[in-house]
Amino acid sequence: MLRSFLKNHMASSAIMILAILFLAGSLFAQEELEAQDITYAIEAELLLDPAVAAHLVDVNTVDGVVTLTGSVDNILAKERATEIAETVKGVRSVVNNILVKPVVREDSAVERDIREALLDNPTTELYDITIDVNDATVMLDGSVESWQEKQMSALVSKGVKGVRKVKNNITIDYSETHSDYDIQQDVESRLIYDTWVDEALISVEVNDGKVILSGTVGSAYEKRRARTDAWVAGTTEVDASGLQVEWWAHDDMQRQPRETALNDAEIEEAISDAFLYDYRVNPFDLAVEVKQGKAILSGRVDNLGAKMAAAQDARNTIGVWKVENHIRVRPEKVPSNEALKDRMQKALIRDPYVEWSEIDVDARNGLIILDGEVNSSFEKRRAAEIAWDVIGVVDVDNRIDAEHQWVWQSDWQIKEAVKDQLFWSPFVDEHKIQVKVDQGIVTLTGSVDSWSAWNQAEENAFEAGAKDVKNKLKVENGLDYEYPYSFLDIE
């Protein structure tokens, strides 16, 4: 199980990660990225992510195309491995041949749990979906009104223990017709305000509902984001084969600053548009106010997942440095304490990741209280995220103690590991970032071009083994005002 694996391998993995990072970064001064160096970097990232059992995954890189083989015990881990590989500089595409070997369960039990999971999730409870399970392979049929709803149905199914594969045959039946012009405008708008995408290098065409993307992106992950952004109301198909992934050497790799920075009114409009595109948030009447890049959200939703999704939409918008989430969760009916507790416990048991037996659950008038002890912050966060998507949950008090033991390394080792992490990230320009380490505490100075990159750089430092991080990076892009760092608070 994940818990026992992490306990047994924490110390050895830290040493292994450092060795791989050092080896992968030893040649980064070269003009061209070597395939083996890309492989080493991906292996290091996989080892750092507890969502993937990296000891069972093999990586091979040829001409920027990464092939993953091996085995994991759930589909989410397989897909997470793809996402990790896509975030490494130099990766053009990922071929995922990892086998999913889930725990063996009766097909009838898996089907029952999927049906229960869809009914317990406030975003899928009303979907008209047919479920069939044969030899751990799930077949979904039915009709929904958006691509996002189709993907959510599959995601909920993949999050059930015992699933080996999901065949998503759900069709999309848009309630309204949309012209190619409207679709193109919507796609271009989403690309402009997505903090992970450089829209200036992407061209959009629409032909009878089919969105055709062409141009250049800086990473396989950015290509994925652009493809997702293209699924707006009316889109029937997305062709992103014309998007070429290029790692641009040194300073040329980063997006150029916008000629005109966004003002608060434009950021407000961008967040409101993001809500329209997000089916989890769209049904609700929400208000957005932006003050010097701080987004203040208010209104009412009927489930906690919608509240959290709204906050994430705001964080992913260019120019936003902080989100204050005052949205109130008001379900149509709050279940009894015992009923909500039972629903939450079943959701934890269904999940292929969390050690549910280590987590205590209590419910008090819509509030879920989680307690116990798990081995990683990933499991603690995962338990809370499961609660967000349980009907009737108004809020979560996460008291779970995530065991964490900082593995000592010299300041020099940490500094070199941080520099390597920043080099392999497609989201930051490592030449613009200075790294200092004092007794395990990393201080980052310099500049990045977005608040997403600001967060990414800090995450890179922690992944490299920092005991703590002081992030003093300046954000050069997306704001038209100065921001006092002493008040910096990105949630």
Where in the chain do CATH 3.30.1340.30 domains reside? 264-329, 337-402, 411-487
CATH topology of domain 337-402: Histidine-containing Protein; Chain: A; (3.30.1340)
Q: Tokens 């990660």 identify what position?
A: 17
CATH number of 264-329: 3.30.1340.30
Query: What's the CATH code, domain 107-172?
Result: 3.30.1340
> Rounded CA gap, 8 and 256, in Å?
45
Q: Is 126 helix (H, G, I), strand (E, B) or coil?
A: coil
Contact 148, 278 (CB under 8 A): yes
| pLDDT for res 423 | 86
Please write the tens of the pLDDT for every residue from 214-235. 999 988 999 999 999 999 989 9
**Nearest to residue 172, comparing CAs of 92, 221, 234, 247?**
234
Secondary structure percentages of the chain, helix, strand, coil, to 5: 40, 25, 35
The string of pLDDT tens digits covering residues 384-398 is 999 999 999 999 999
CA atoms within 13 A on the CB side of 335: 18
Residue 133 structure tokens: 């399970």
Under CATH, which number does the domain 180-253 receive? 3.30.1340
pLDDT attached to residue 32? 59
Write the DSSP assignment of 353-409 as a string of letters: SS-GGGEEEEEETTEEEEEEEES-HHHHHHHHHHHHTSTT--EEEE--EE---PPP-
What pLDDT does 246 receive? Answer: 83
Q: How many CA atoms lie within 13 A of 402 on its CB side?
A: 15
Output the pLDDT for position 483: 43
Task: Considering the domain delimited by 411-487, tell me its CATH architecture.
Answer: 2-Layer Sandwich (3.30)
Which candidate, 307, 330, 311, 331, places its Cα nearest to that of 320? 311
The residue with tokens 């050895």 is 12
| pTM for the structure as a whole | 0.79
Low-confidence ranges of the chain (pLDDT < 50): 1-15, 17-18, 21-22, 24-31, 249-255, 257, 259, 478-491
